Amino acid sequence: MRRRPRKDDNLPLLEHVLALRKVLVISAYAIMLGSIIGWFFSDLAFAFLARPVTLLEDIRFITTTPMEPMLVKIKISMFIGVALALPVLMWQLWSFVLPALKQNERKYLYVIVPSSVIISPTPDLVTQLLMAGPMYLLYEISIWLGYLVARRREKDLASK
């Protein structure tokens, strides 16, 4: 895996901003190129996305504003553009963050990043539980720890 050369651990603020600007510009170009490609496939993608609804009954979509068909085509093509540009976006983000991390921090990142991507919140129940379960567990632990600390503090105050 090729990374950007690491010149200095403590770069001036302007160099960090310029590196971030480069990442954002390359990411924007990748999304633009993907959206242009997505423009040609947006009608096919809309038909694919609308198929479950149109199969239920004889349902047709209506437009409520004159610009709505064009805006739907633009939104779908931009969604396709982001999906196509995602490898470039991830690489740019990775190459921006990685030089700032120490070796021991990198090993944790190699585990956390892949596991947090497949667990992204989606509408299905399994991934919602995978996201909400640890959050709820941490919430309960914090309540019990707060209870134990308060009880301990009351004992200490009562003994004085």
User: 65-96 pLDDT, tens per residue?
Assistant: 999 999 999 999 999 999 999 999 999 998 89
Report pLDDT for 72. 94
- Listed in sequence order, the DSSP H helices in 63-124 are 68-97, 103-117
Report pLDDT for 106. 84
Regions of the chain where pLDDT drops below 50: none
Q: What is the pTM of this model?
A: 0.64
Report pLDDT for 112. 78
Give me the residue label for tokens 């609804």.
53
Please list, in sequence order, all residues whose beta carbon lies within 8 angstroms of the beta carbon of residue 80, skipping any fewer than 6 positions away: 34, 35, 37, 38, 41, 42, 45
Report pLDDT for 98. 86
